Amino acid sequence: MKKKFITFSRIIKTGMVNFGRNAWLGMAAMAVMIITLTTVLFSWVTNAAFNNTVGQITNKIDISVFLQDSVTNAQAQDLVSQLKRLPNVKSVSYLDKAAALKVYKQQNAGNQQILSAIDQVGNPVPATVLVKPRDLNRIQDIKDFLSMKDVAALQTSDSPTYNGSRKAAIDKIAHATTLLRRAGVAAVIIFALISVLIIFNTIQMAIFNRRDELTIMRLLGASTWYIRGPFVVESIMYGIISALLSVLIIHGLFVASSSALQASSLGLLDINYASTYFSAHFLVLLAVQIALGILIGAVSSVVATRRYLKFKSK
């Protein structure tokens, strides 16, 4: 137990010393790791902001289903409960003819002509079912349901409507955020691979510089982890430092952009929300970044040292 502790502390110490000695060599590794981790963090936070934006917009959209005057109250209630069972339906509300008229009048309160026209013809407004979808991208499910023969039979000829032109814009937004999310994931994967390769090279160079020492250690009976450990410690240090810097960079980015641009949003990106999200989840983000940095560093150094630590098998 004591021996293990001594060995462990020697591994840590040697790793730290090597980290200091290889600082210049390690710069390249750290630079690319910082880019990777910054990309991860940036994608994460902007993704959260996009989701928030889309969520807010989605809440505002609803589908109006107009029922024919011949439809009975029981039939309408039946339709409501069927709609509620659809997986993509968030909420359903039913307005009978009188309630729908009231809403319509409120919406057109300023237009005296319409109001007087309605008073003359009685109640022309159909009973209405309002459907709120959960996910805009899967609205087709609801459309399909509404266009089924027996369901369509209950509706007026101009039913259903999708809040008019807003739907197209919302579709575009949803599509754009999906694209951005995918681009983010792709960038993260590419940068992560590059940083693994570069750390891998850095460690191999460090090993090459010290290959005599490694051979001697091996011949004197040093265990695999006694030799490998310091390299892993060194790479983990790169990871931790890069993680801290990436968090610092993203923090700086939001602070700078919100103060310098004095804007609450950049195109689709709601900066206010993004920076609130960043501060609210600061510790989680920091921990994830550090964990990722450690993971990338450890994996690449373990792989890099493997070749040099094999025993002859023939």
Partner 1 sequence: MILLDRVTKTYGKVATPALDRISLHVEPKEFVIVVGQSGAGKTTLLRLLTREEKPSSGKIIVGGIDYDKLKDREIPLLRRKIGVVFQDFKLLPNRTVFENVAFALEIVGATNNEIKATVPKVLEIVNLRGKERRLPVELSGGERQRVAIARAIVRQPKILIADEPTGNLDPKHAWDIIRVLEKINRYGTTVLLTTHNQEIVNKLKRRVVTIQHGQIASDRAGAQYKV
Which residues contribute to the site for partner 1 (CB under 8 A)? Answer: 2-4, 6-7, 10, 212-213, 215-224, 226, 311-314
200's enclosing H/E stretch is helix 166-209
Minimum gap (Å) between residue 219 Cβ and partner 1: 6
Query: Do 225 and 11 touch, CB atoms closer than 8 A?
Result: yes
Least Cβ distance, residue 13 to partner 1 (angstroms): 10
Please return the burial class of 284, using the count of CB atoms within 10 Å of its CB with bins 0-12, 13-18 and 19+.
exposed
CA-nearest of 36, 23, 25, 29 to 246 is 36
Q: Which is nearer to partner 1, 120 or 313 (CB)?
A: 313
d(CA 234, CA 3): 22
Q: What angle do CA 160, 163, 164 make, to 5 degrees?
A: 95
| Distance in Å, CB of 201 to partner 1, minimum | 24
Please name the residues in contact with 285: beta carbons below 8 A apart, sequence gap of 6 or more.
41, 44, 45, 247, 278
CB of 26 to partner 1, least distance (A): 19
% helix, strand, coil for the chain, step of 5: 75, 10, 20
| CB of 220 vs partner 1, minimal distance in Å | 5
Q: Which is nearer to partner 1, 151 or 217 (CB)?
A: 217
Quickly count: other Cβ atoms within 10 Å of residue 174's Cβ: 19
Q: Minimum CB separation from partner 1 for residue 233, in Å?
A: 16
Rg of the chain, C-alpha, whole Å: 31
Q: Is 259 helix (H, G, I), strand (E, B) or coil?
A: helix
Range 76-87 burial, b when 16+ CB lie within 10 A, else e:
beebbeebeebe
**Smaller CB separation from partner 1, 7 or 52:** 7
Asked if residues 203 and 33 have their Cβ atoms less than 8 Å apart, the reply is no
| Closer by beta carbon to partner 1, 24 or else 311 | 311
Closer of 16 and 176 to partner 1 (Cβ): 16
Task: Give whichever of 107 and 215 is closer to partner 1, judged by the CB atom.
Answer: 215
Output DSSP code: residue 222: -
CB of 292 to partner 1, least distance (A): 30
196 vs 232, beta carbon nearer partner 1: 232
Yes or no: say if 161 and 82 are a contact pair by the CB < 8 Å rule: no
DSSP state at residue 73: H
Nearest approach, Cβ of residue 206 and partner 1 (Å): 15
Of residues 164 and 221, the one with the C-beta less far from partner 1: 221
Nearer to partner 1, 111 or 215 (CB): 215
d(CA 145, CA 155): 12
Residue 284 Cβ vs partner 1, minimum distance, rounded to whole Å: 38
